[in-house]
Amino acid sequence: MITRHSLFMRALASLLLFFVLGSVSLQAEPVRQYIKIAKEGESRIPLVLRSLDVEKEKNSRYSQELDGFMRNGLEFTGMFSLLQSPLNIFSGGNIYDAGAREVNFPSLSSIGAELYAGGVMDRSGSRITLDMEVYDVLTGRLLLNREYTGRRDDLRTLAHAFCADLMELITGKPSVFSSRIAFVSSQAGQKEIFISEFDGFGATRVTETGGLALTPALSP
């Protein structure tokens, strides 16, 4: 027997599916050519990664760290050719409102950029907010506008969360940024198993066998 509640839940599910599919379809078309490049390995994608904008000068130290993490993360992928941001990158709008700024696409095109990424960083106490935007320079379409929040000691995680989203946007597949590496290393004459992030950062020992640990066997 179909109740009013079940009918309501079906309608709600259909509505949510409509919005999800709608948002995906808006992003699928502009990045199709980049997916092809990523698969065929034709060339690196020319990307302008603008330094984060901060309204309060005292937050610059955090934004600079985020800039470094994002730049290093994207360079690690080998998919992008990072171009220097032109001075006249905005033609109007509030520069502290990511996703609503008037981007100067002719200026970006003049230096050969095909993608533009930038954002705004803010801090409230120990809470960091990172609002990022990604545009297709060729069409002027907004491909990604997402907010990331975390604590001051989460800067690397926040930066790589954006890198992961950008990579998935381009390739259509999850990236390496949430991956972990297990490896064997000698410490005080003993071989133990360590786990680190995808690039070797933050290595942590997970065994203390006192013997020879040679083949990591891990499970979720």
pLDDT at 14: 37
Instruction: Give the C-alpha separation, 206 to 158, whole Å.
Output: 25
pLDDT digits (tens, 9 = 90+) for 103-121: 999 999 999 999 999 999 9
b/e per residue 172-210 (b: at least 16 CB within 10 A): eeebbbeeeeeeeeeeeeeebbbbbbeeeeeeeeeeeee
Q: Who has greater pLDDT, 152 or 192?
A: 152
pLDDT at 11: 38
Q: What's the average model confidence in pLDDT over 31-46?
A: 62
Q: Which two tokens stand for residue 111?
A: 């230096």
136, 101, 98, 96: which is closest to 116 by C-alpha? 136
Instruction: Give the C-alpha separation, 132 to 62, whole Å.
Output: 15
- Fold designation for 15-171: Rossmann fold (3.40.50)
Mean pLDDT of the chain: 77
Ordered by start, the domain boundaries in the chain are 15-171, 179-215
Q: Highest mean pLDDT range out of 93-102, 142-151, 170-179?
A: 142-151
Q: Who has greater pLDDT, 197 or 77?
A: 77
pLDDT at 100: 86
pLDDT at 124: 94
Measuring CA to CA, how many Å separate 27 from each of 37, 70, 74, 158, 218?
Answer: 17, 22, 20, 22, 36
Give me the sign of the Cα torsion angle 160, 162, 167, 173: positive
